[in-house]
Every structure is written in C-alpha cells, then in structure tokens.
Structure 1
Amino acid sequence: MRKIIVAFFLSFIANAMVAQVLTVKDAETLLPLEQVIVMSENPRKYVFTNAKGQADVSDFKGVASIEIKLLGYVTQKISFLSIEQHDFEIVLTPSDISLDQVVVAATRWRQSNSGIPYKISTIRPKEIILQNPQTAADLLGASGEVFIQKSQQGGGSPMIRGFSTNRLMYVVDGVRMNTAIFRSGNLQNVISLDPFAMENTEVLFGAGSVIYGSDAIGGVMSFHTLTPEFSLEDETLVSGKGMARYASANNEKTYHFDVNVGWDKWAVLTSISSNDFGDLKMGAHGPDDYLRSFYVIREDDEDVVVTNEDMKKQTPSGYTQINLMQKVRFKPNENWDFQYGFHYSETSDYARYDRHIRTRNGLPRSGEWSYGPQIWMMNNLSVNNRKDSGLYDDVNLRIAHQHFEESRMDRDFNDVDRSVREERVNALSFNADFIKGFTDNSKLLYGAEFVYNDVESEGRQEDISAGVSTSGPSRYPEAEWWSYGVYGVYEYEVSEVLNLHGGLRYNQYALDADFSNNLNYYPIPESNAHLNNGSLTGSLGAVYVPDKSWSFTAKLATAFRSPNVDDIGKVFDSEPGSVVVPNPDLKAEYAYTAEVGVTKIVDDKLRVDLNAYYTLLDNALVRRDYAINGQDSIMYDGEMSKVQAVQNAARADVYGFQLGVEAKLAKGLSLLSRLNVQKGEEELDSGEKSASRHAPPLFGITKLAYHVNKLNMQLYTVYNGEKSYENMPEEERGKDYLYAKDDEENPYSPAWYTLNFKATQQLTETFALTAGLENITDRRYRPYSSGLAGAGRNFIVALRASF
C-alpha cells in the first residue's frame, strides 16, 4: 500500500511539473512557434520557447501580468492563472501592425522598444528564410534600410545614415567585432557571419557610443546567433534544420545543417554552412559601361588579355566559404546560465573585382589583385546571473577572444613581382553589464568594458617567375590598442505615457605602434607612436506614448571614434597615383546627433513611422594631402605616388529621414515600404564642401505580401535613386571605372530598380520549399560606389527540413 501511495505521489509531482510547460502555437497553422518571449516586468523574468514551442513557466506562478510576444504576432497579456485554465497552451494570431517588440540592441538587455528613444529594425528568421540572402551583408540589405556597397562578390560594406566602415559597430552575441584595423575604406568583415546561424538580427540607427563605445557613430548592427535549448520533458530534446540551395546568377551551391541536443541542464548546438559561389552574371538591360569585355589569365609566364565571350559574366568574382559554430550551455538552476560559443569562418582567395576592371594605356592595370583567405574565429564565454540584490537584478558577463586574418595580393599587368601583405589581429574583450530596478518605474543599466587588440602585419615581395620571396613593406606597424570604458543609463517612467532616458560613458583609449618593419622602405620620421586619451559621451532621450496608436520620440546624443592602428599607421594605395602614410598625431572624432520620430497606428491596419535626424561629425578623420620628411611624393610599389595621410581635418554634416509604411490590406494580404533619404557634406582641403562618400542616394524597398496557412509569397521592388556627377563626392569622380558615363562623358550612378518574387510553401511539418525569381526584368545595375554590378535575372530554389 505504501508503494502505491508513493507512486501516486511521485506521479502527481511529475504531472504538476509537466503542467508548468507552456506550448505556444501559430493560430493559423497550429505549428509550434520558436523564440517566443514570455516575460513579466514585476517581477522581472523572461524565458523563450524552444524548437517545439515550449517554455518552462514555473517561475511565473502567481504572476498577474505575463506578456507573450513574437514579432509579427499579436502580443498576449495574460495571468498565470489564465495560462493554467488554457491547459498551458496558447495560440498567437499573426499581425504585423504594432508599436511594440522586444529588442536587445538599444541597451544590451531585452526590453520593449515602445519605451526606448531609438529607431531599431529587427530582421526576423521568417524573413531570412523567405529572402534567402547569400551572405550576412545581403541579409542586412534585405531590410531595405541598410545600403550595401560591394567591390567584389566576396564582400559587402553596410552604409547607415551617411556613415560606413569603422564608423559603424558590429556586435556578435554581445561581443564587439570591430578591431584596430577596421578601416575607413570599404569593409568586408560582415560576410564572416553565417545568416543561417542567426536567431535574430537588429539594426540600431544613430549614435550608440554610450553603450557600445568607440565606432558606434552611424549605427549598431547586432547579430544574435542560435542559442542551445534545453529539454523541458523527460526525454532528450533533439531538433535542427537542414537546407540545400541553388541560385542561377552565380551558380551558387549552398548547404547548411544545424542540430541541437538538449537535456535538463545541458544543451549543445552545432551549425555548419558551406557556400560555393561562381562568377556573378549581371543583367541584360542597362549601361554598357558595366559590361566585362576582357579578363586576364596567366599563360606561359605571361599575362594574356582574353576576350570575355559572355560580357555579362563578371570574371573573376567567384569564391567559396565555410562557417562553423559550436555552442555549449549549462544552466544549473534558474539563477545561473553559462554559455560557451566557438565560431569559425574562412573564405577562399577572392578577387577584388573593381581592381580588375581598371585599365592603363589601353591595357589592364592589374595582372592579379586578390584578397587572401579571410578568417575569423571567436571563443566567447558568457555568464548570466539573476539575483535580487542591492547591486543588480541581472548581470551578464562576457569574456571573448577573436582571431582575424586577412591578406592582399596584387601584381601589375605583366609584372613578375607580386606584393603580399598579411595581417593578423588577436582581440581580447571583457564586458560586464548590469541592470537594477529601483521602483516599478525606474531602472539603472550600467557596466564596464575592456578591449585589447594585438596587431601583427608583414609584407613580402614574390618573384612569380623565379619563385623567390623576399621581405617587403607591410600595411601596418606592429601595434597594440587598448580601450577601457564605464557607462550608466538611467530609465525613468514619469507616467504611463512618458519615459525619459539619460546616459553617460567615459572611455580611455591607448595605442602603441612600432614602425620598425617599414623603416627600410619608407621615409617614416619616427620609429614609434603613442596615444593615450579619453572621451566622454552622453545621451538624453524621451518617449511619449499618449495612447496605443501614437508614439513620439526625441533624442540628443554624442558619439566618438578613437584613432586606431588603421588611422595612425597604414601604408596603402588609396587610389592610382596616391599613397597613404602613417600619421601618429591624431585625436578622436566626435559626432553630435539630434533625432525625432513619430509613429501612428490606424485601426490596427496601418502603421506609419517617420524618423528625421541630423549629425555633425567634428574633428573628422579623413584622408588629406600630406608631406613626409618634406616630401609630398614617394615611390610606392614602383610608382611615384602623391603622399596622403589620415588627419583630423574636416567637419561633416549628415541629415535625412527614414519613412516606413505597413498596411494590412485584407486577410493575409499586406503592404510594407521603407524609404531612406540622406544627404551628407564634408569639408575639403580648400575649405569648399563635397558630397559625403558614404551617403548613398535615395534607396528603399516596397513589398506586397500574401500569407495564408502554410504559403507565404512576396512581390517586391528594390530601388535606388541617381547620383549625378554634380552631386558625386570629389574622391568618387576620379573613379570613373566604377560608374556609367552621362551625356558629357562624366561618371555618375544611374537610378535603378529590380522587380522580384519569392515564395515559401510548408510541404509537411518537416519539409518546406522556397523559390524565387530576382530581378525579373533582368536590369543591369550597379549600386552606388560599388565595383560589382548586381545580379541579373536570378532563379533561387531551396529545400529546407526541420526536425
């Protein structure tokens, strides 16, 4: 009898435990919804649903107000008692019209954006699946709010609000990706990230230096990779995805697989992606200036110009890439959560296409110009502790090591001497982020950051005919770069309709550079350079939400970028006939930003949002003519070149607006449009002003979407305005090989648009088919400032499996 009573008691306990597992499903398909956040503010708690749509809500017992949120669905506010009455199963109704979503990028903590004075866009996994971006750069571009420049297929340099490259911040799982050699020229590092391994991607527009430190002037791109999930039942949780994709414009063949194995307290996740991209074909209808009439091959120890049989094929532009990710998670109890993540990405060599289309005296300038394998590796250990203490309610600690490798290989046409420059950066970082609530309507977010970069750079000259290699000039000095920062942000809910935010950050940065590796090659006056300076930045913002249909935001903020090794010590050819040399006498540049925003919801059927901004960049770090040891020109790679250096020599003004419209037209039918208009000016040496290089012309996207049951379709257009010769930045006018010619034979960037169609059909609970036709009208176009023309008519098909 005693055994029966014990068995009954244990069974009752087991059933009670199972009863605390909430399952969230889509109201239309009844399929489980992953990454739904279940949260409460009082007490502050949150959990996410796993691949089966399940979340353990035991900690919410007795809570009167629980929010169940997922972007694209109507938020449910419900009590724990009501969840019990619904037998721990909730369905969410799809809806794209809302003021509210949960974001991380603004403060490093998950919270509702309805009370944050920042414009933040979220790129959802469902949108990634439908759009099928080939790289993480394409993923950002698919938002319609980030402009992507490409000098080659193996690249993608985002532009946000008139800023680019090292004036934008890249963050991966809370870790700063920017290094001391992030340059002012176009950056390709974002392609190291795997779009298939993304759980969520957010773009914060405007200044973010209070939270993120140096470089966060134009915006922050925050990437959150897949998180290992635990089993909430007695059996082991095994889930994952597989995908195979083909695209016709570049003969792409991509494969991806990830698997999650979860137990009660432990979980592991493995992700692998492989990409094979062939040469990219451009469209049939557009400027003939973009056509590729020739390319160079090496034959019998000579460079030979070959006539391109298909002038739409951009040879050479193909490359391959592999991405690996391994994560382990341990959660011994509800208060502690440990995660370790290993990331690895490597490309093949890939040609810098825009250097291959340059000519000199009727012949190609380059016999070869390639980037070597781009390698990125990160080890990231994060610890989260939830504790109702006097110092904090939540703390996130992150310690990370990153290793970067990149190289450049170039050789003039029919020259046997190849210049090779290789760079390696080891980056260590530590972040501590705390949040402490004082009352129901106020909280303090504060933290500290330490970053250390060790830069190794070497060069060599290779005689490809004799097979002899000798030491040569390097791109950078041997250098170390440090950054230390502390910050605090106070949020105060004045009333139900008004929120105030204020923040400060103090940052100290230091740099030591040793130019010994280049003293034998260039007349550098000093063998060492040192920097040690500080920076104070702040922000003040307000959010006014008079009702559920209106939101008004206003923000004043400062941001900064401290000089890095690329600014102080780089030696490279910025353009034909010019060489950039070191300048150790640099200070930080500062940005001052004012921004206002308004959002209106009409009958839960229409959403219109408008954000206007103005940014002043003072003491801007720009390239200017320079003299070294009294010389205004020196020999570089065998050519007499004009000397330039990065200097605090300019002021830049950027202003513009972003307009968004979302409309529910009928059941399952919706419209979305994003428009970006920005203008930028910067001072020249003469005191005159020129258009800013990184302020692209008008651009945007408009989508007509239809979603019913398990079918999701989109017909959309991507468009880009004209950049006339008169409005072309001064430095871009000299790059006529990048642009089309106007009636007066001056370079300009024509307006263009593409018409596209994508569809996803859920075939079974396991399999889904995605297909699309991009650039239906086969337009030939080249985005502003890019060396590579966009894809012509492109058929994409992908088969996905989820388990």
Structure 2
Amino acid sequence: MFRLLASFLLVLITNYSFSQQIKVVDNETNKPIENVYIYEKYNSILTNEFGIADLSEFKEKGLIYFQHPSYQNLEMNFIDLQIQNFIVKLHSNIFPIQEVVVSANKWEQNIKEVPLKVHKIDKAEITHSNSQTTAELLKSCNQVYIQKSQLGGGSPMIRGFAANRVLLVLDGVRLNNAIYRSGNLQNVISIDANSLESAEVILGPGSIIYGSDAIGGVMDFHTIKPLYSTSGKTNTYFKYKNRYSSANNEIMNHTSYNIGKERLSFAGSITYSDFDDQKMGNHGPDEYLRNEYTIKENGTDKIITNSDPKSQKQSGYNQFNLLQKVRYKASENTDLLYGFHYTTSSDIPRYDRLIQYKGDNLKYAEWYYGPQTLQMHNFQLTLKKANLLYDSFKLTTAFQNYKESRHDRKFSSTTKRNRSEKLKIYIVNADAEKKLSKSTHLFWGAEMTHNRLRSKGHSTNIEINTFEEIASRYPDKSKYSTIAFYSNFKRKLNSNWTLNTGIRYSHIWINSELDNTYYSFPFTNLDLSTGALNGGLGVTYNSNSGWDFKFNASSGFRAPNIDDIGKVFDSEPGKVVVPNKDLKPEYIYNVDFNISKNFNQKFFIDINAFYSFLDDAMIRSDYSFDGQNTIIYDGVESEVQAIVNADNAKVWGINFQCIAKINQNFSATANMNYNNGEYKDGSPVRHIAPMFSSFKLDYKSNKLSSNIALEYNAKIANKDLAEVEKDKAYLYAQDMNGNPYSPEWLIVNWNNNYQLTNSINLNFSIENIFDKRYRPYSSGIAGVGRNFVIGLQYQL
C-alpha cells in the first residue's frame, strides 16, 4: 500500500513538473532566446519568440538538453529546473554558427548566404559595452571609426566615407534627410543606445535595398519590440539602469518596460543623460590642452586662464530620449506596430570652433548647436499569408519632425548669428519576400520620401536685444522628394553555393528658390530632376570543410540633396561655399572578397578586402560666383567654392578578425582595419581613417564577464593628411617641423559585468587606464582621460 501511494505521488509530482512552461534567456541580458532546441530521449521542442516552451510531453526522467547555434550547449534535470523556477540561462557562444541578419534584404537571412560584409551587434554586446552614446557603441564593434567635433557628437566613418555618404536606419526608417551634409555629422547620438535590441553594420554599398547615401555603408538599428504573452497571463517586464562616468561626470538614468497580452502589447523606454565638461588624459601632446577659454563678465567678453588645462571647458551637454511602442495581433497572419520616438538635447557647444584662434585671441565667444530634436511616428503592417505576390509583406509609413540650429558670436562682438532648420519628412516603404521554389527567393519593394524644409536666419544685438533678419543657411521652403523600386533575387544553387543579384532605380526631385535679398545670385531657380540606376551580383560558397568564401560586385549612389546644391556657408576661415544647380549623382563601383573559417569552435578567422571607385564625386572645389572668385561673406573677403562633380577617387582596404577560444572561460579577439584612398590628382581622401585595431581578452563565468581591451590608432603624417585637414592645424599636434599631424596612440580599457542576482547586474569599468592624452583623427575634442564607470541594472 505504501509503495502504491509513493508511486502515485511520484507520478503526480512528475506530471506536475512536466506541465511547467520553461523560459530560456540570455545569461548576460536576461532577454528571451528564440528557437532553442530542447530535447530528451523521446521528445523535442523549440522555444518561441519569447523564449518559452511547454514541456508537458516530456514524460521521461533523466537529462534534458538545450542547444542553440549562438549559445553553449546545456544539460539539466527536472530537479535543477525546479530549483531555478523553470528559467534556464544560456551562455553566449563566441562562435555563432548560423547568425541571422535583417539588414541585407530587410528580412531574416542566414549570414552565411549574404555576400555583403555585415557585422551584427547583438543585445549581449550592447549590454556589455555599456556605451554612453550610440556613436560609442559603433566604435566598440571595431568596424566603424568615430570622429567627434564636440562631446555631443560622433560621426561614423566606414571605408573612407562618412556623413551623407553613409546611411542611418532606425526601425526600418531612413534618418538621412535633405540637409545631411558632407562634413561631419552628429545625428547618430539621437538614437538611444539603451533602447536598442540589436544593430547591424553593412560595410560597403547598400544602395540596392536602401537607396541614396548608402555608399560607404549602412547602420541599421533595431529598438526594443513589444512582446506578446503566450501563457494567458500578462507578460510584464521592467528594467532600470543607471551609470556614472568620472571623466565627464556623466549621470545616466534609463527605464524600459513591456506589458503584453496575447494579442496586445506595449513597450517603451525613457533615458536622460547629463554630461559635464570632459577631461582629457595626462600623457600626450600639449597642443590638445585647453589653456584658456572665454567668459562674459559685466557685459564684456574676457579670456581667462584655465586652472585645469586638461578639462575641456564648455563641452558639456544633456540629452533626453523617449520611446513608446504598441503592437496588436489582428490575426495569426497580421501584425500591427506603432512606434513613437522622441529625442532632444540641450544646447551642444561646438568645441572645435571654441578652441579656434584669430591672432592671439580665441575667435569665438559662443558657438553652439541648439537642441537637436527628432520626433518620429512609425507605423508598420506585417502580413504573413502567402499569395501570388508575396509570402511576407511589410508596409512601413513614417513621419519625422526634425529641428536643428546653429548659433555663433565672435569674441568681443555684439552680434550673434542664429540659423535654424525645420524639416517635415514623410516616408513610405513597401518590402516583400516571395519563395519562388525550395531554393529560390525574390525580395522586392518600393520607397517614397518627401522632405519640406523651413530655413530661417536672424542676428541678435546682445547689448540692446534687437533682431535683424539675415540670410538663411538654405533656401527657405525647399522640397526634396524621391521614389524608388528594387528587386533582389537569391538562389541556392546547391548545398554550397548561393547566388544573389539585385537592381534598383531611384528618381530624385528638388525644388528650391534662392532669395536675392542678401546675395546677388546669377540664378534663382534650383529645380533638379535626376535618376540613378544601380545593381549588384554576389555569390557565397560554404565548403564542407568549413571554409566560407564571399564575392560581391555592386554599385551605389548618392543623389544631390538640398545641402549640396543650395547652401551658402563658411566651410573654413576665408572660404565660402555657394549654390550649384548643375550637380548630378555620384556613383560608387565596388568589389568585395571575404574568406572565413571556423576551426572546430576553437579558432575563427575572417578576412575581408575591398576596392571601390567613386565616380563623379561631389567635392568642394574652387568656383566662380557671378564671374567673381571672391565675395564678402560675414564681413570677410572669402574665396568662392561650390560642391561640384569634378573628381573621382579610388578607395581600398582590408579588415582582419580572429577569435580564439582558449578554454571554457577565456577567449581572445583581435581586429585590424586598414583603408587608403586618393583622388585622381593623388591627394588623400578626407575621411580615410588611420589604421585602427583592437585586441580583447575575455573571461566569462556563470556570474562574471570581464575583459581587457587594447585600442590602437596609427599615425597620419602631415604629408598624408587631406588638404582640408591641413587647413585646420588647431585640431592637430605638431611634428618636429611644426606641421600638423595625427599621432599614434594606444589605450587600455578594463570592463566588468557581474550578475549579482537574477535581477541585478553590476558594471564596473576603467577606460584609458594609463591616462593617455589622445584625439581621434579629424576630431575637435580629445578622448576621455582615465575614466571610472560604475553602473547598475535592475530587471524584473
């Protein structure tokens, strides 16, 4: 009788255990992991998008196994599962076997079948980097070089291209607009790194899928997505995160949440970051020191001595980000998603202008960007019911309200110039995927954009507080519109070979009217209508021995925008850029070759080489304005320049990466990027970064993730500086001949994440341990000195 009762209780307990739902999450981020293969002797199941699986069919006692290509294998018994409340944590694998990317065709694909060079930044990497801004996050992946004119900045350089020659995409919507300039841009910091789920960087042209501006590469960012409930209960998630950094007294607070029912879910986040003046390192060039700065005292500008020259006075700012999403499952095949993005900042000092001298005095008393504000509404409809035209279809509509402004006043002047821009941007994207056969996929889509610009200018007399209209930066009420169609074809020829080919046609219209109130333009109409056709062909070969080969030949383009054809501005002291209505698109022709090998999950090597030819390049060049080579601009006789299709350039380079698994806990990663380029006259291309590399030693255990990282930048000698950089000597150190150059530098960082409990994660880092004083190439502000970073993340 006792044995029978015991057997009955054992069966009852066993069945109770088996009926439990199990949740599988990432050990570092606590994020759910989809498609984990769970099996035992007689049964198997995959986790859903929420990391959940039902083990009610698992009747056998014994071990249960967990497998996922991006994570280390795990085996557990039911007693262990009960102890852990049926939450299983998997440790990431340093060698993901079949990583999935979205950016290549806007639909999920195995990266092994994509001929483009794509680097994925997953949630674990985002969490571990603990970056202050999204610019810093891109820098941490060691594939993108970041230039900074000011602390509130970060201009990505990819393969010798930057600004409006690289494309930013946020949740499927392009951020590049009609006034993205060819100089350095800081717009990437508007994206909140704390709200990102993942990011992907395409190295090289991405114009087939993304259109204009995707010449050097594409940075595709994906923010958190609302998750539904699968258990009948409300799925809730809450995270709080804060961080303090000593080098600029950063204080960051972030919260995010998810509330999900079976058909309706909400997700959102709020982040506020405040940065004080940034402190540079102790050991390095004296030219970078901030020895003096300006203040206004009793109505008079004064230059005072900086008591701490390592403190980069007047560089601090703050930033606010808000994200809210609502998701509704209308049916099993229809998903609706609305997203609201809002970001703004305080005034952002233009630090590189504030350290500029005119004679013995600082040139500017004030130079700052006004609050950079982006408000975006994004609605997405996804259909997954197959028909003649598609198996999956995605319609994305977006509206952006964008504002930026510039404000400057010269030292001892009573006149302050103010120029502001407001853009209303409308975007519609349609993207579809159709499986034509077991081995053939067709991707097709269309895009329409429309930009409406308001541009104003006025000066203020700061003594008597009077206002006067001045020339705006751009022609007011300008319009910029595009329409495009694309198709991409993928065929798996056999188990080893995959073929990809695609084509896109884009058409661009610009309508602007110049105002002759302030300048006597020889023309007033700036209408432009032009088209661009581009395509590509790529193959991948995945050998049975583990060697993977990729080859891709493609073209890309950048169409002229309002900034190119209609701007009047001072590009540098004594030079002024004027409008040019005869601009045409510039084209890039690119070939890529990639080889990689995974040696039994112990050692991984990846080598990528490319060559690009930029034709009809839009560059600043000497120009005549109404027959004159010089004009008076802002009271100064200035040489006339314009953006013209007057050049071509060749750019080439190599990227090397290797990863070594030393043992179960230790691994090492090395990266090296070398690019070079020149225009047809042999002069260097401006946005070619120096050779930069990194080495990282990682340690991972159940609770602790730690790494020591070395970052190295090679020297750029004066003879190798672009001419436009030589004219900005105040940004650079001086060589033994007194000429500007960019010195080499090496910094060492130590980063630690400790999982204190299932809910609490602690971060402690020391950046630039040896307090090196350095300034990245072409930057106006020096990098952080020794920087202590402390962070806390609490998650429910």
Provide TM-score, normalisation by structure 2.
0.92
SS in 2 for 1:130: helix
Determine if contact 1:98/1:607 at 8 Å carries over to the other structure. no
CA positional deviation for 1:603:
1.8
Determine if contact 2:166/2:218 at 8 Å carries over to the other structure. yes
Deviations 1:250-273 (A, max 9, x none): 001000001111111101112100
Determine if contact 1:98/1:604 at 8 Å carries over to the other structure. no
Could you say which residue in structure 2 is the equivalent of 1:644? 641
CA positional deviation for 1:363:
0.4
Could you say which residue in structure 2 is the equivalent of 1:621? 618
Could you say which residue in structure 1 is the equivalent of 2:129? 131
For residues 484 and 20 of structure 1, the distance between their equivalents in structure 2, rounded to whole angstroms, comes to: 52
Counterpart pick for 1:355 among 353, 356, 359: 353
Determine if contact 1:369/1:408 at 8 Å carries over to the other structure. yes
Could you say which residue in structure 2 is the equivalent of 1:607? 604
SS in 2 for 1:628: coil
CA positional deviation for 1:74:
5.0
Q: 1:775 to 1:48 in 2, by over 3 A?
A: farther
Determine if contact 1:23/1:32 at 8 Å carries over to the other structure. no
Deviations 1:25-76 (A, max 9, x none): 46xx69964253569xxxxxx98533xx326999xxxxxxxx9997742599
Determine if contact 2:731/2:779 at 8 Å carries over to the other structure. yes
Q: Percent identity between the aligned chains?
A: 42
Determine if contact 1:99/1:548 at 8 Å carries over to the other structure. no
For residues 118 and 22 of structure 2, the distance between their equivalents in structure 1, rounded to whole angstroms, comes to: 29
SS in 1 for 2:136: helix
Determine if contact 1:668/1:706 at 8 Å carries over to the other structure. yes
Q: 1:70 to 1:360 in 2, by over 3 A?
A: farther
Could you say which residue in structure 1 is the equivalent of 2:468? 470
What residue identity is the alignment partner of 2:794? Answer: A
What residue identity is the alignment partner of 2:773? Answer: R
Q: Does 1:726 align with 2:724?
A: no
Could you say which residue in structure 2 is the equivalent of 1:538? 535
What residue identity is the alignment partner of 1:433? Answer: D
Could you say which residue in structure 1 is the equivalent of 2:500? 501
Q: Does 1:249 align with 2:242?
A: no
Determine if contact 1:510/1:533 at 8 Å carries over to the other structure. yes
Q: Does 1:388 align with 2:386?
A: yes
Determine if contact 2:596/2:604 at 8 Å carries over to the other structure. yes
For residues 289 and 134 of structure 2, the distance between their equivalents in structure 1, rounded to whole angstroms, comes to: 27
What residue identity is the alignment partner of 1:767? Answer: I
Could you say which residue in structure 2 is the equivalent of 1:79? none
Determine if contact 1:539/1:556 at 8 Å carries over to the other structure. yes
Map residues 389-408 of structure 1 onto 2, 5 A cutoff. 389-408=387-406
Deviations 1:638-669 (A, max 9, x none): 11111110000110111001101111011110
Q: Does 1:783 align with 2:776?
A: yes
Could you say which residue in structure 1 is the equivalent of 2:77? none
For residues 763 and 100 of structure 1, the distance between their equivalents in structure 2, rounded to whole angstroms, comes to: 31
What residue identity is the alignment partner of 1:188? Answer: Q
Q: Does 1:581 align with 2:571?
A: no
Map residues 670-689 of structure 1 onto 2, 5 A cutoff. 670-683=667-680, 688-689=681-682
Determine if contact 1:287/1:740 at 8 Å carries over to the other structure. yes
For residues 221 and 32 of structure 1, the distance between their equivalents in structure 2, rounded to whole angstroms, comes to: 25
What residue identity is the alignment partner of 1:511? Answer: I
Determine if contact 1:71/1:96 at 8 Å carries over to the other structure. no
For residues 165 and 57 of structure 1, the distance between their equivalents in structure 2, rounded to whole angstroms, comes to: 51
What residue identity is the alignment partner of 2:252? Answer: T
Map residues 196-207 of structure 1 onto 2, 5 A cutoff. 196-207=194-205
Deviations 1:330-366 (A, max 9, x none): 0122201100000000010011000011111100111
Counterpart pick for 2:223 among 222, 225, 249: 225
What residue identity is the alignment partner of 1:377? Answer: Q
Map residues 155-194 of structure 1 onto 2, 5 A cutoff. 155-194=153-192
For residues 640 and 571 of structure 1, the distance between their equivalents in structure 2, rounded to whole angstroms, comes to: 14
CA RMSD in angstroms comes to: 2.2
SS in 1 for 2:273: strand
Q: Does 1:54 align with 2:47?
A: no
Q: 1:689 to 1:74 in 2, by over 3 A?
A: same
Counterpart pick for 1:323 among 321, 326, 333: 321
Deviations 1:287-341 (A, max 9, x none): 0010000000111221100100000000110001100011000012220110000
Provide TM-score, normalisation by structure 1.
0.91
What residue identity is the alignment partner of 2:706? Answer: M
For residues 626 and 674 of structure 2, the distance between their equivalents in structure 1, rounded to whole angstroms, comes to: 44
Q: Does 1:700 align with 2:697?
A: no
For residues 461 and 231 of structure 1, the distance between their equivalents in structure 2, rounded to whole angstroms, comes to: 56
Could you say which residue in structure 1 is the equivalent of 2:24? 24
Counterpart pick for 2:294 among 296, 301, 315: 296
Determine if contact 1:47/1:57 at 8 Å carries over to the other structure. no
Determine if contact 2:23/2:32 at 8 Å carries over to the other structure. no
Deviations 1:551-598 (A, max 9, x none): 000000000000000000011110001111111110000000001000
Q: 1:48 to 1:734 in 2, by over 3 A?
A: farther
Could you say which residue in structure 2 is the equivalent of 1:555? 552
Deviations 1:726-750 (A, max 9, x none): 1111111111000000000000000
Determine if contact 2:369/2:407 at 8 Å carries over to the other structure. yes
For residues 187 and 443 of structure 1, the distance between their equivalents in structure 2, rounded to whole angstroms, comes to: 37
For residues 21 and 635 of structure 2, the distance between their equivalents in structure 1, rounded to whole angstroms, comes to: 70
Q: 1:207 to 1:619 in 2, by over 3 A?
A: same
Determine if contact 2:24/2:33 at 8 Å carries over to the other structure. no
Determine if contact 1:523/1:628 at 8 Å carries over to the other structure. no
Map residues 46-85 of structure 1 onto 2, 5 A cutoff. 49-50=49-50, 53-54=51-52, 72-74=70-72
What residue identity is the alignment partner of 1:502? Answer: T
Could you say which residue in structure 1 is the equivalent of 2:428? 430
Deviations 1:182-226 (A, max 9, x none): 000000110100000000011011010000000000100000000
Deviations 1:343-394 (A, max 9, x none): 0000100110000111111001111110000001110000100012111100
Determine if contact 1:21/1:232 at 8 Å carries over to the other structure. no
Q: 1:413 to 1:331 in 2, by over 3 A?
A: same
Q: Does 1:208 align with 2:210?
A: no
Q: Does 1:737 align with 2:736?
A: no
Could you say which residue in structure 1 is the equivalent of 2:258? 260
Q: 1:383 to 1:68 in 2, by over 3 A?
A: farther
What residue identity is the alignment partner of 2:260? Answer: G
For residues 99 and 187 of structure 1, the distance between their equivalents in structure 2, rounded to whole angstroms, comes to: 36
Determine if contact 1:74/1:94 at 8 Å carries over to the other structure. yes
Q: 1:293 to 1:423 in 2, by over 3 A?
A: same
What residue identity is the alignment partner of 2:709? Answer: Y
Determine if contact 2:19/2:54 at 8 Å carries over to the other structure. no
Q: 1:37 to 1:142 in 2, by over 3 A?
A: farther
For residues 94 and 408 of structure 1, the distance between their equivalents in structure 2, rounded to whole angstroms, comes to: 45
Determine if contact 2:29/2:124 at 8 Å carries over to the other structure. no
What residue identity is the alignment partner of 2:749? Answer: N
CA positional deviation for 1:94:
3.3
For residues 218 and 381 of structure 1, the distance between their equivalents in structure 2, rounded to whole angstroms, comes to: 28
SS in 2 for 1:557: strand
Determine if contact 2:150/2:315 at 8 Å carries over to the other structure. yes
Counterpart pick for 2:374 among 373, 376, 379: 376
More displaced stretch, 525-534 vs 571-580: 525-534
For residues 595 and 404 of structure 1, the distance between their equivalents in structure 2, rounded to whole angstroms, comes to: 36
Unaligned stretches of 5+ residues in structure 2? 1-14, 38-45, 57-64, 75-84
What residue identity is the alignment partner of 2:551? Answer: A
CA positional deviation for 1:523:
2.1
For residues 464 and 299 of structure 1, the distance between their equivalents in structure 2, rounded to whole angstroms, comes to: 13
